[in-house]
Amino acid sequence: MKLYDSKMAPNPRRTRIFLAEKGISMPTEEVDIAAKQHKTPEYSAINPFQRMPALVLDDGTVITESVAICRYVEALRPEPALFGIGAKEVGLVEMWNRRAEINFFANVAAVFRHLHPAMKDLEVPQVPAYAEASRPRVFWFLELIDKELATREFVAGNRFSIADITTYVAVDFMKPGRLVMPDHLSNVKRWHAAVAARPSARA
C-alpha cells in the first residue's frame, strides 16, 4: 500500500488524522501542489481528478477521496469505530459528517478557492461573488454547531468520529481563507481545544 498525500491541502489531513486514530502508518509520497505535481500526466494516471489523497493497494487498485480511504481502513480495522456503532449511530455520524462537509467545509473552501490570490491558477475561473455568497453560510453553521456542542461532547454524539475530523479540519482551514472564529462560540472553542489536544491532530 502507498498513500499519495499533501501537507498543504485539508482533505489529505482528514485521512492522516483518521489513520493516526486507528494507529496505522503506511508508506507515503508527498505530492507538491505548489509545483502543480498533481496536474502532471504521472499523477493524473493515478487519480484523473488530480486530487489528494490517493491510496494504491498492493493489487494496483486505486482508492481516492479522503472519506473513501477512511471507510476502506474502517472495514479492515474496525476499532476504534469512527463511523459509528449500530444503525442509529451510523446514520447520525454520516448525517453530521455530511452536514459538516456540505454546509461548512465546502463553504470555507469556496471562500478560500474563489478569493485567495494563491488559488488564481488552480481555481479557474475564480468567482469572487460565489465566495461572498458562501461566507455567511460558514458562520451560520458555526452558530448551529455551537448550540449542538452545548448538549454533547462531540459533533455527532458522545463518541469521537469522522464528523469531528471533518469539522476540525474545516475550522483550521478557515485561517488560509481569512475567516475568523467568532469569540462567543464557547462550545466550539471547548470542542476544538479537546480535538487539538489529541495526538492525532498533529498528523
**Min CB(9)–a second copy separation in Å:** 14
What span, in angstroms and rounded, lies between the C-alpha atoms of 65 and 44? Answer: 14
Q: Closer to a second copy at the Cβ: 43 or 201?
A: 43
Q: Closer to a second copy at the Cβ: 71 or 159?
A: 71
**Min CB(122)–a second copy separation in Å:** 13
Q: What would the grid cell of residue 123 be?
A: 481555481
Q: Which residues bind a second copy (CB under 8 A)?
A: 48-49, 55, 57, 61, 63-65, 67-69, 71-72, 75-76, 86-88, 90-92, 94-95, 98-99, 102-103, 125, 127, 129-130, 133, 144
Q: Closer to a second copy at the Cβ: 17 or 70?
A: 70
Q: Closer to a second copy at the Cβ: 74 or 201?
A: 74
Residue 27 burial by Cβ neighbours in a 10 Å radius (0-12, 13-18, 19+): exposed
Angle, nearest 10°, between helix axes 128-149 and 106-115?
A: 150
**Min CB(76)–a second copy separation in Å:** 5
Length in residues, the chain: 203
What span, in angstroms and rounded, lies between the C-alpha atoms of 62 and 2? Answer: 10
